[in-house]
Amino acid sequence: MKAGIVVFPGTNRERDMAIALAGSTGRRPVLLWHRETELPELDLVVLPGGFSHGDYLRSGAMAAHAPIMAAIRGFAAAGGHVLGVCNGFQILTEAQLLPGALLRNAGMRFLSHDCTLRVERGDTAFTRHWRPGDLFRAPLAHGDGNYIADAGTLDRLEGEGLVAFRYADGSPNGSARGIAGVLSPNLRICGLMPHPEDLVDPLMGGIDGRPLFDGLAELFAA
């Protein structure tokens, strides 16, 4: 699999993501600077976690207008696979590649702890190594993870099966309907708040996050 990880000023989980992807695919992903205007030939674009541009406007709002985003829109429109984690999820919603928005956590504090996620469907590029209903652990680390959308959008997401992951042990950040991750209508863009990439090594406490990367690697094995 050829994966590219986008680095914005303030991105800080690109190394974690590279380790997770390399662990499953056997090859190092390329790092893509936010000022690039073209993408190399890729199977997967990843927007990793961090504080792009300091998140001083709204989380992800500046990054959503970075030069590379035009190329990523084109890549997505052509059916490319895009994964956004944490700040990457926020950027995807700000870029309107995914619906909804991520507000300040309901408790108004940064949260950093493991949560349990429930897989809502097992037939996407991102979830194919799980079955619907599977539970897995993932570290979360964010201040703005409170997923919100209008009721009609939420109904549509649920009706069309576009919820990828839900918090299984209550919504720690106040997210509507416990939504932790969503999908685009073509199921090729996925955004989620927790960090599966930080739980891919038994030494770090488990490999709960590995199915996401193993599934992608298998899909694009070539």
Partner 1 sequence: MSGTRTIGPELAREFGLTANEYGTLLGIMARDPSLTELGIFSVMWSEHCSYKSSRVWLRTLPSEAPWVIHGPGENAGVVDIGDGLAAIFKMESHNHPSFIEPYQGAATGVGGILRDVFTMGARPIANLNALRFGSTDNPVTRRIVDGVVRGIGGYGNCVGVPTVGGEINFHPAYDGNPLVNAMTVGVARRDRIFLSAAAGIGNPVVYVGSATGRDGIHGATMASAEFDETAAARRPTVQVGDPFTEKLLIEACLELMATDAIVAIQDMGAAGLTSSSVEMAGRGGVGIELDLDHVPQRETGMTAYEMMLSESQERMLMVLRPDRTELARAVFEKWELDFAVIGHLTDTGRIVVRHQGRVEADIALAPLADAAPLYHRPTAPSPAPEPLGSVPDPVGIEAALIWLIGCPDIASRAWVWDQYDSTVGGQTVRRPGAADAAVVRIPDSRIGLALTTDCTPRYVAADARLGGAQAVAEAWRNLTAVGARPLAITDNLNFGSPEKPEVMGQFADAIAGMGEACRALDFPVVSGNVSLYNETRAPDGTSRSILPTPAIGGLGVLNDAAQAVGLALPSDHDLVLLGRTEGALGQSLWLREILGREAGSPPPLDLVAERRTGDFVRGRILAGTVAACHDLSDGGLLVAVAEMAMAGSMGVRLDVPQSGVSPQAYWFGEDQGRYLLAVADGAAMVEAARRAGIEGRVLGRSGGDGLTLPSGATISLARLNQAHGAFFPALMAD
Catalytic residues: 86, 195, 197
Among 9, 80, 161, 174, binds partner 1 (CB under 8 A): 9
> In terms of CB distance, is 185 or 205 closer to partner 1?
205
Among 81, 121, 195, 210, binds partner 1 (CB under 8 A): 195
**At its nearest, how many Å lie between partner 1 and the CB of residue 122?**
25
Let me know: does 145 contact 105? Beta carbons within 8 Å.
Answer: yes
> In terms of CB distance, is 73 or 141 closer to partner 1?
141
Nearest to 198 by CA among 138, 145, 144, 118: 138
Among 31, 39, 137, 143, binds partner 1 (CB under 8 A): 143
Handedness of CA 73, 74, 77, 83 (dihedral sign): negative
Nearest to 48 by CA among 99, 78, 10: 10
Rg of the chain over all Cα atoms, to the nearest angstrom: 16
With binding defined as CB under 8 A, does residue 56 bind partner 1? yes
How far apart CA 11 and CA 60 sit, in angstroms, is 10
Among 29, 49, 88, 145, binds partner 1 (CB under 8 A): 49
Among 2, 10, 103, 206, binds partner 1 (CB under 8 A): 10
**At its nearest, how many Å lie between partner 1 and the CB of residue 121?**
27
How far apart CA 140 and CA 18 sit, in angstroms, is 18
With binding defined as CB under 8 A, does residue 221 bind partner 1? no
Q: Pairing between strand 163-167 and 179-183?
A: antiparallel
**At its nearest, how many Å lie between partner 1 and the CB of residue 106?**
12
How does DSSP assign 11-40, residue by residue? Answer: B--HHHHHHHHHHHHSSPPEEEETT--S--
Among 15, 27, 65, 131, binds partner 1 (CB under 8 A): 15
With binding defined as CB under 8 A, does residue 84 bind partner 1? no
> In terms of CB distance, is 97 or 200 closer to partner 1?
200
Nearest to 76 by CA among 117, 47, 45: 45
Residues at the contact surface with partner 1, assessed by CB under 8 A: 9-10, 12-13, 15-16, 19-20, 49-51, 53-56, 109-113, 139, 141, 143, 195, 197-198, 200-201, 203-205
